[in-house]
Amino acid sequence: MRILHTMLRTADLARSIKFYTEVLGMRLLRQKEYPDGKFTLAFLGYGDESDNTVIELTYNWGVSEYDLGNAYGHIAIEVDDVYDAAARIKDQGGKILREAGPMNAGTTLIAFVEDPDGYPIELIGKR
């Protein structure tokens, strides 16, 4: 068994694809519209779906916002340099939720950023 993908609902598919590809460096792997269901799916990641876990963005046509609730946590992405990654994201207009630095009660370097729909993303430095 393995995790295939994590699905996130998005209010603006083009905006989210731009964030995940241009700001976080993922590739758009595939995208398909489902007119009968009135939704579009886009799959993004750092490598092919056959070998990597990816993000599935779901755009439900006509929905412009979602209530994220309080149960969802975050997505975590490993980066070579947390300080550099957070600075690059900030320079590209990304929102920083927590500046780069050691985690609370630990030494692992982390930062938190936010995607265009408000989902938190943790950046974790390579160990």
pLDDT (tens digit, 9 = 90+) per residue, 64-86?
999 988 888 999 999 999 999 99
Task: Please name the CATH architecture into which domain 5-60 falls.
Answer: Roll (3.10)
Q: Are strands 120-125 and 75-79 parallel, antiparallel or unpaired?
A: parallel
Q: State the DSSP H helix or E strand holding residue 47, giving kind and residue range, or none if neither.
A: none
Q: What is the 8-class DSSP label of residue 94?
A: P
122 is catalytic: yes
Paired tokens of 121? 């993303």
CB 10 within 8 A of CB 116: yes
CB 34 within 8 A of CB 40: yes
List 49, 65, 78, 122, catalytic entry = 122
User: Smallest Cα–Cα separation from 80: which of 111, 107, 53?
Assistant: 111
CB 120 within 8 A of CB 111: no
Query: Which part of the chain has CATH 3.10.180.10?
Result: 5-60, 75-125
Note the CATH number of domain 75-125: 3.10.180.10
pLDDT tens-digit readout, 27-78: 999 999 999 999 999 999 999 999 999 999 999 999 999 998 888 899 999 9
